[in-house]
Amino acid sequence: MSRMTKREQTGKHLLAWACLLLALLVLLIIFQPSAQAASLRRGSTGDDVITLQKKLKNWGYYGGSVDGIFGSRTEAAVEYFQRKNGLTVDGIVGPVTARALGMQLTGGTTSSSKTTASGDTYLLAQCVYAESRDEPYKGQVAVAAVVLNRVDSSSFPNSIAGVIYQPGAFSAVDDGQINLSPDDTAIKAARDALNGYDPTNGCLYYYNPSKATNQWIRSRPIITTIGRHVFCK
Amino acid sequence: MEQNQPPRKTGSEPETRTGHEMELKSTKERANKTRRARRFRTVVAVAVPVLLALALGAACIYASERSAYAESLERRVTSQEQDAYYQLHNNINDMQTALLKLKVTASSSRHILLLSDIWRLSGAAVANMAAIPVSHVDTSELNAFLVRIGDYANTLINRILSGGVLAEEDYTQLDALYEASVQIGNKIKERLDRGDFPSSLSVSAADGYYAQNDSAGGSSPDQSGSPDPNDQSGENTQSAENSAKEENISDYPTLIYDGPFSESNEKAQPRGLPEGEVDENTALLRAVEWLGGGNLTASGYEEGNIPVYAFAGTDAEGRSVEITVTKQGGAVLWMMRETAGGADGVPEEDVTKRLSEAAGQFLEDHGYEGMEPTYAQFYNGTAVFNFAATQDDVILYADLIKVYVEESSGAVVGMDAANYLTSHTPRDLPSPELDETQAGYAVSDSLDVQSVQLALIPKTASTEVLCYEFKGKCSGISFIVYINAQTGAEEEIYQIIDSDEGQLVV
């Protein structure tokens, strides 16, 4: 009797623990979708690799090109960095090495980007990507141009960041899409707009006529329509 | 005890059992099985609710932590918004004081100090405005007012520094600005006293931004495209919007001055367009001729800063192309062909030279004579050269044309003449009072000058000044210094930054 009970008890315990673990796991998965840690190693590509290469290059560890591809030279540079900084020399950028480098790993590979941009150009590209990645190229430049036209207008904040982060101005800021990594097209669109290309011919507003309900914005004189967006002054 | 042994063990026992024993065993086994099944059911019956209760408990704890966190974030956001509102009030108050002091000061150095204070406060107030969650429709005028105060003050500073004085109409304008800022300050103070702050929690973000206050007695946004008075804005944001309205006053003084944000300059008409209007068909013929053949279709008329007809299609080589032709004068404003793309980065010097020559040749072929290449950027496999117009060997920096050249093929893939068409007219150039050597005395000794040239640069938003352009280096960094060719005054200094993508001028 006792042996049997023991076994059953073990089974019961196992079952209980399994269920509890499962429940906890479910909870964790539901509430913490971003808890997984990423690492960069040979073969990794993407924005994080670009950041890594830039940092290594700036500090003189890396002499290759900033191309977003973790190859043998990047690996050698990471090992060099780890040796110099008293870290485990494995050529892999895990959480510890990442912290030593002062970078955050976003996890996984995002768009592998040929072009790089920084500062205002990047922020503008983020806005373009978040607001209009499904639009034709001209429509993406147009969104960037509207931001820049606002910067130059007295009725709006006087910097790119000020315009983009103005409360309520862009829905992509409210729903967090602004933080997505822009692709090459969005970066190029931002650059073209910064270089003066304005397909909207001076517009300050745009909206999607199938979505916008606000009467005020609909009463503005329409200058042009590009893709799904209507641009107005 | 023996009988309670698990069935598995029975297989290893000697084969001396009787049928009775076997029967007994199987009965026991069955009984065991049912007992085990019952026990399992009990375990499940107990464990599942317990686990669910645990999960619920964990979820509750988690949820309460989250909601506490959300509340703390809410408070942080609200306090930042309140902070911005308080600071806006302070900055406008300080601006009032400075405007008041301007009335009674007689010294030009005090004028400059007070005006720079106003300039600084205007910038700070505009930054505060950007952080306050209020409808753009209701506050764009206030924003413009604050920007223009600073812009105007800066214009006055420059005038006093170059030997000018404040005129009678400036004092009248400053009085009006003072009155307006008092009104605005009082409205904000009333709201602060009530503890009624604009908050992002009471305004729904996307709609609130354009939500329009239709309460009576408010000011309407600018006359052009003024909204439909019967218009109903979203009811949910109504009360928030009514209060957001209160910073506005009915009449903002119109400032007359010459700065980049002045009303006259924001509505400036292009000066470089040829005479006469063209219709869409003529514009289409122009576009095809300009491209050297191709198949274009009209994609619409755009009433913008420079009204244009837009066309899209393919050029003679089959590349897709977009082009716009101005309604007035039928000039090509902008053209862009599809490109192969490529890497960023400045190419070798001889490649750059070849690309620049291709761009220059292109401009000459299209009737732009005497254009001088200035600076260039290189990105995405494309070189962008900025050409400035010249007149009697003087570079006209306002009249820029951008030419895009594909690095792989050397083909011109784009052109942007917006700056040129906005500002190009024959200038009435004075002959310089100073010669190159005399102007050189005004240049800092720290600058190792490498080249000198006459150039016309923008001084205010609508005036230009003839200068000697000294290009040189100081501790390895490139600079351009502009010395007024008449007075020898140092008008402007630019730093040239060599980036991966070419030269940047700051």
At A127-173, the pLDDT tens digits run: 999 999 999 888 999 999 999 999 989 889 989 999 999 888 888 88
Alpha-carbon gap, residue B77 to B166, rounded angstroms: 43
Instruction: Count A/B contacts: CB-CB distance under 8 Å.
Output: 173
For residue B43, the model assigns a pLDDT of 86
Cα nearest neighbour of B266 on chain A = A153
Cα nearest neighbour of B141 on chain A = A155
Residues in chain A: 233
Record the tokens describing residue B44, joined without a space.
């499940």
Chain A (72-101) residues lying within 8 Å, Cβ to Cβ, of chain B: none
Radius of gyration from C-alpha coordinates of chain B: 37
Query: A175 — contact with chain B (CB < 8 Å)?
Result: no
Nearest to A174 among B144, B148, B206 (CB): B206
For residue A19, the model assigns a pLDDT of 65
Instruction: Report the gap between the CA of B257 and the closest CA in chain A (Å).
Output: 14
Binning pLDDT at 50, 70 and 90, where does residue A115 land?
low
Q: Where are the alpha helices (DSSP H) in chain A?
A: 2-31, 47-58, 72-84, 95-101, 119-132, 137-151, 160-164, 171-174, 184-194, 215-218
Is ipTM over 0.90? no
Query: B243 — contact with chain A (CB < 8 Å)?
Result: no
Cα nearest neighbour of A163 on chain B = B130
Cα nearest neighbour of B339 on chain A = A188
Alpha-carbon gap, residue A124 to B112, rounded angstroms: 36
Instruction: Report the gap between the CA of A76 and the closest CA in chain B (Å).
Output: 24
Per the CB < 8 A criterion, the answer to whether B421 and B408 are in contact is no
For residue B135, the model assigns a pLDDT of 81
- pLDDT at residue A1 tops 60: no
Alpha-carbon gap, residue B49 to B333, rounded angstroms: 73
Going by the DSSP 8-state scheme, the letter that residue B228 receives in this structure is P
Q: How far is CA A69 from the centre of its chain?
A: 18
Nearest residue to B459 via CA among B108, B150, B161: B161
Partners of residue A225 in chain B, C-beta under 8 Å: 300
Chain B (135-174) residues lying within 8 Å, Cβ to Cβ, of chain A: 135-137, 140-141, 143-144, 147-148, 151
Report pLDDT digits (tens) over B310-341: 999 998 888 889 899 999 999 999 898 888 77
Report pLDDT digits (tens) over A42-56: 878 777 888 888 888
Query: A208 — contact with chain B (CB < 8 Å)?
Result: no
Alpha-carbon gap, residue B457 to B484, rounded angstroms: 10
Per the CB < 8 A criterion, the answer to whether A74 and A57 are in contact is no
Nearest residue to A188 via CA among A94, A103, A114: A114
B436 to A163, B154, B257, B433: CA distances (angstroms)? 44, 30, 33, 10
Decide: residue A219, CB within 10 A, 0-12 exposed, 13-18 middle, 19+ buried: middle
Query: A177 — contact with chain B (CB < 8 Å)?
Result: no
Alpha-carbon gap, residue B127 to B118, rounded angstroms: 14
Nearest residue to A97 via CA among A50, A148, A52: A52
Cα nearest neighbour of A232 on chain B = B304
Query: A174 — contact with chain B (CB < 8 Å)?
Result: yes
Partners of residue B48 in chain A, C-beta under 8 Å: 19
Partners of residue A171 in chain B, C-beta under 8 Å: 205-206
B4-13, B58-67, B454-463: least confidently modelled range: B4-13
Per-residue pLDDT averaged across B152-161, rounded? 91
Instruction: Report the gap between the CA of A29 and the closest CA in chain B (Å).
Output: 12
Decide: residue B251, CB within 10 A, 0-12 exposed, 13-18 middle, 19+ buried: exposed
Instruction: Report the gap between the CA of A88 and the closest CA in chain B (Å).
Output: 33
Report pLDDT digits (tens) over B136-152: 887 888 899 999 999 99
Chain B (375-434) residues lying within 8 Å, Cβ to Cβ, of chain A: 377, 379-380, 384, 402, 416, 418-419
Report pLDDT digits (tens) over B35-65: 888 888 888 888 888 999 999 999 999 999 9
Q: By three-state DSSP, how is residue B453 classified?
A: strand
For residue A215, the model assigns a pLDDT of 80
Nearest to A155 among B40, B127, B143 (CB): B143
Cα nearest neighbour of B209 on chain A = A168
Nearest to B232 among A26, A215, A221 (CB): A215
Query: B269 — contact with chain A (CB < 8 Å)?
Result: no
Q: By three-state DSSP, how is residue A229 classified?
A: strand
B127-136, B257-266, B304-313, B470-479: least confidently modelled range: B257-266
Backbone angles phi, psi at B306, to 5 degrees: -125, 110
Partners of residue A197 in chain B, C-beta under 8 Å: 334, 336, 416
Decide: pTM greater than 0.90.
no
Nearest to A4 among B6, B322, B343 (CB): B6
Backbone angles phi, psi at B284, to 5 degrees: -65, -45
A36-40, B98-102, B419-423, B497-501: least confidently modelled range: A36-40
Binning pLDDT at 50, 70 and 90, where does residue B229 land?
very low
Partners of residue B136 in chain A, C-beta under 8 Å: 155-156, 166, 168-169
Backbone angles phi, psi at A152, to 5 degrees: -85, -5
Buried b (16+ CB within 10 A) or exposed e, A115-132: bbbeebbbbbbbbbbbbb
Report pLDDT digits (tens) over B396-411: 988 999 999 998 888 9
Backbone angles phi, psi at B325, to 5 degrees: -125, 130
Query: A233 — contact with chain B (CB < 8 Å)?
Result: yes
